[in-house]
């Protein structure tokens, strides 16, 4: 089935951090977008800002994937050609405290969505997976064919959904791509979209920028005794706009040739340590970031970064933003929105 001109793409969680940046890129590429979002981790101001950036207001349906009636209704009201599924919970620490909430939202919610899609003959699905499925046993750089493992309910929920999608793809009607995100950071160059973690941020970049702006007192660096270049944790940070563009790239890849089931890493292929990130941020933005080395954070791995050959070779996508771009855009966002 060819996606029609001006085809409608359903983006669940489309008012969230990665979702909103992807909506902006989809509209810029000529797609019509329907956003399905329960507003638990976003707000209606994001829709206004998307309209400012895109020159058109995406359709918004406020609803929750844990309600099969609410997600079914979307397919009655709109002609959907493909779905990009971001809606889900993503805090590792929260998942340890509330595993059932994570399995209900991330697994049952996805099952509800997939059932609604099949009932309405919509079979193109792009799933927001995570590098966390590589677990703690693999050597870097992580490759898609490596064995997976989960060390927390959040990671297990992503791993379980990947397995559900793989089993579903035994039905040749399904066209499914799972994208394993590494560490998204940064913000839209307009500073109209960005990361808005609720409460004290868990992730490095939002904590770092809030320390630089004085909202937080001091950045804690979780351990400098890892077997890495400078002892601090190494990750594959990718600009959120690059990540958004990767979704548009795989969507057009699916349209060009039917994909039954594929998994792609989405990262830069480079590992950056915490100290390197602090140094880059300070130099790029000419500001000091007070930090202190403390104990390791339980559950952290020392090193995680992607082998990105597969998405580059098959889809023709690669990240183009530099670490400096990530630090500049993250800082601009913090200054305009703190």
- Where does this chain touch ligand WQD (CB under 6 A) — which range of 37-45, 139-147, 199-207, 326-334? 199-207
Binding mask 272-311 for ligand WQD (x = CB under 6 A): --x----------------------x--x-----------
H or E element in which residue 231 lies: none
Is residue 233 a contact point for ligand WQD (CB under 6 A)? Answer: yes
Shortest approach of ligand WQD to residue 69 CB, angstroms?
A: 28
CA distance 204 to 17: 15
Tell me if 157 contacts ligand WQD by CB under 6 A: no
- Name the β-bridge partners of 235: 272, 304
Min separation Cβ 21 and ligand WQD, Å: 15
Of 42-50, 117-125, 188-196, 217-225, which part binds ligand WQD (CB under 6 A)? Answer: 217-225
Measured CA to CA in angstroms, residue 291 lies from 79, 216, 279, 294, 338 at distances of: 51, 11, 11, 9, 20
Closest CA to 72 of 125, 36, 102, 47: 36
Q: Indicate the pairing of strand 82-85 with strand 124-130.
A: parallel
Quote the CA–CA distance of 123 and 110 in Å, as a whole number.
14
Q: Is-contact 159 111, C-beta < 8 A?
A: no
35-64: contacts with ligand WQD (CB under 6 A) = none
Which CB atom, from 204 or from 254, has the smaller least distance to ligand WQD?
A: 204
Pairing, β 8-12 against β 237-239: unpaired
- Which residues pair with residue 315 across a beta bridge? none
Count of residues in contact with ligand WQD, rule CB under 6 A? 19
The residue from 24, 26, 33, 92 that contacts ligand WQD (CB under 6 A) is: 92
**Helices (H) then strands (E): counts for the chain:** 12, 14
Among the listed residues 17, 31, 134, 154, the single catalytic one is: 154
The verdict on whether 78 is a catalytic residue reads: no
106 binds ligand WQD, rule: CB under 6 A: no
Q: What are phi and psi of 164, to 5 degrees?
A: -60, -45
Under the binding rule (CB under 6 A), the answer on residue 138 touching ligand WQD is no
Q: Which residues bind ligand WQD (CB under 6 A)?
A: 90, 92, 130, 132, 181, 183, 202-204, 207, 219-222, 233, 235, 274, 297, 300
């Amino acid at each position: 089935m060819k996606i029609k001109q001006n085809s409608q793409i359903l983006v669940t969680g489309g008012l969230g951090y990665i979702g909103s940046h992807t909506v902006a890129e989809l509209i810029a590429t000529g797609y019509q977008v329907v956003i399905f979002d329960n507003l638990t981790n976003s707000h209606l101001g994001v829709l206004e800002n998307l309209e400012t950036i895109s020159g058109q207001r995406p359709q918004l349906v406020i609803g929750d994937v844990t309600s099969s009636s609410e997600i079914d209704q979307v397919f009655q009201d709109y002609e959907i050609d493909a779905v990009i599924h971001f809606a889900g919970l993503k805090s590792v620490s929260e998942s340890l405290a509330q595993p059932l909430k994570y399995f209900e939202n991330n697994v049952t919610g996805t099952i509800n969505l997939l059932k609604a899609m099949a009932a309405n003959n919509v079979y193109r699905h792009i799933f927001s997976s995570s590098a966390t499925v590589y677990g703690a046993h693999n050597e870097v750089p992580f490759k898609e064919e490596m064995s997976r493992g989960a060390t927390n309910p959040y990671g297990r929920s992503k791993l379980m959904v990947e397995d559900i999608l793989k089993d579903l793809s035994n039905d040749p009607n399904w066209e499914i791509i799972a994208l394993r995100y590494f560490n998204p950071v940064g913000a839209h160059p307009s500073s109209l979209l960005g990361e808005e973690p609720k409460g004290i941020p868990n992730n490095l970049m939002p904590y770092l920028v809030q320390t630089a702006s004085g909202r937080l007192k001091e950045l804690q660096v979780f351990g400098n005794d890892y077997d890495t270049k400078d002892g601090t944790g190494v990750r594959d940070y990718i600009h959120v706009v690059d990540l958004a563009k990767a979704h548009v790239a795989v969507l057009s890849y699916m349209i060009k040739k039917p994909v039954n089931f594929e998994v792609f890493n989405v990262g830069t292929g480079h590992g950056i340590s915490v100290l390197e990130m602090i140094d880059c941020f300070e130099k790029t933005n000419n500001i000091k970031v007070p930090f202190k080395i403390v104990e390791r954070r339980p559950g952290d791995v020392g090193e995680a970064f992607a082998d990105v050959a597969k998405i580059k070779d098959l889809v023709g996508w690669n990240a183009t933003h530099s670490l400096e771009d990530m630090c500049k855009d993250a800082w601009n966002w913090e200054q305009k929105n703190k």
